[in-house]
Amino acid sequence: DIKAFSKELSKHLKNITLSTQHSDLSGYELIDIVEKYNGILIPAHAFTPHKSYYGNCVDRLQYIFKEKFDKIFAIELGLSSDTSLADEISELETRTFLTNSDAHSLPRIAREYNKMLVEDISFKEIVKAIKNEDGRKILANYGLDPKLGKYHRSFCEDCNDSIEITEAATTCPRCGGVNITFGVFDRIELIKDKKESKSPKHRPPYIYQVPLTFIPGVGGKTIDKLLDNFETEMNILHKASQDDIEAVVGEKIAKNIINATTGNAKVHSGGGGVYGKVTI
Ligand SMILES: [Zn+2]
Ligand SMILES: [Zn+2]
């Protein structure tokens, strides 16, 4: 039904063939159109500062979707948040979390992904998994350490750096300025209604994954070499041993990769549209 959906939606958009279009529709209205064509509506990167429901519109999705909120089965966490952060908001306890790659270019596919239990690969089965129905479910979320995301922390546009204080940053502690692009962490800190993050029983594990391009010393040539040997990035990040990797790219880079993939690297938080940085 995607063609019919697009046709109807093109009445509300300037150019249906481009991504990220402005529309006069509210989420409350949009969900009816989505349902009419047998789709489901999943708010994307729900916490980012410029274009998202929590980041830019409301403290609760309930305020937007009202009595239709029970038709929102899932939210997409986005690169700058993770399960633990999102589970600080109680209305999300009964929703599924998706970790999608938001890949606007091919190499970025699978920088985040969901492991699902389904009978076959079909839209119907995937919807069941998202709804947590008939035993179908999300088994695990694989995603970035949210600190690596582009909007994890508030960012001072004057100092040109993210602000890594423990509380929500609404002003810059360096220059005192208020020219701030809000961070996902900071936004959740302000709107959360739970004292601490506690995930419901149905919540699958969130497994951190550091894409190779984030790891210091790993450039294009090194990645090509690694892929020649291990075939996929997932094999390198989740299966290869330090010895295996060392045999291909040497001790120093192997150590960096292992530190990054086992959570033993320091990360400078991203913000303001700039990705976080792994510093070994
Ligand atoms: Zn996107
Ligand atoms: Zn500043």
202-259 per-position pLDDT tens digit: 999 999 999 999 999 999 999 999 999 999 999 999 999 999 999 999 999 999 999 9
Contact 61, 23 (CB under 8 A): no
The first and second tokens of residue 130, run together, are 């998202």
pLDDT of residue 1: 87
Judge whether residue 271 has pLDDT over 90: yes
Write a three-state SS string for the chain. Answer: CHHHHHHHHHHHCCCCCCCCCCCCCCHHHHHHHHHHCCCCCCCCCCCCCCCCHHHHCCCCCHHHHHHHHHHCCEEECCCCCCHHHHCCCHHHCCCEEECCCCCCCHHHCCCCEEEEECCCCCHHHHHHHHHCCCCCEEEEEEECCHHHCCCCCCEECCCCEECCCCCCCCCCCCCCCCCEECCHHHHHHHHCCCCCCCCCCCCCCEEECCCHHHCCCCCHHHHHHHHHHHCCHHHHHHHCCHHHHHHHHCHHHHHHHHHHHCCCCEEECCECCECCEEEC
pLDDT of residue 22: 85
Q: What distance in angstroms lies between residue 240's CA and the mean position of ligand 1's atoms?
A: 30
* Across 132-160, average pLDDT: 96
ipTM greater than 0.95: no
* Across 115-120, average pLDDT: 97
pLDDT of residue 107: 83
Tell me the domain boundaries of the chain. 2-148+192-208, 212-267
Q: What does DSSP say about strands 277-279 and 180-181: parallel, antiparallel, or unpaired?
A: unpaired
Q: What distance in angstroms lies between residue 178's CA and the mean position of ligand 2's atoms?
A: 8
Which ligand has the shortest distance to the CA of 105? Answer: 1
DSSP bridge pairs for 75: 97
Which ligand has the shortest distance to the CA of 79? Answer: 1
Judge whether residue 21 has pLDDT over 90: no
Confidence of residue 51 (pLDDT cuts 50, 70, 90): confident
pLDDT of residue 276: 96
Confidence of residue 60 (pLDDT cuts 50, 70, 90): very high
Which ligand has the shortest distance to the CA of 104? Answer: 1
Which ligand has the shortest distance to the CA of 181? Answer: 2
Which ligand has the shortest distance to the CA of 111? Answer: 1
Q: What distance in angstroms lies between residue 171's CA and the mean position of ligand 2's atoms?
A: 8
Contact 257, 245 (CB under 8 A): yes
Contact 268, 162 (CB under 8 A): yes
pLDDT of residue 96: 98
Read off the amino acid at residue 261.
T
* Across 141-167, average pLDDT: 96
Contact 149, 267 (CB under 8 A): no
pLDDT of residue 131: 97
- What share of the chain in percent tops pLDDT 90? 88
Q: Which fold has domain 212-267?
A: DNA polymerase; domain 1 (1.10.150)
Judge whether residue 66 has pLDDT over 90: yes
Judge whether residue 2 has pLDDT over 80: yes
Q: What distance in angstroms lies between residue 100's CA and the mean position of ligand 1's atoms?
A: 10
- Mean pLDDT of all residues belonging to the chain: 94
Which ligand has the shortest distance to the CA of 175? Answer: 2
Judge whether residue 19 has pLDDT over 80: no
pLDDT of residue 16: 85
DSSP bridge pairs for 116: 138
pLDDT of residue 234: 92
pLDDT of residue 83: 97
* Across 95-104, average pLDDT: 95
Contact 156, 163 (CB under 8 A): yes
Contact 27, 35 (CB under 8 A): no
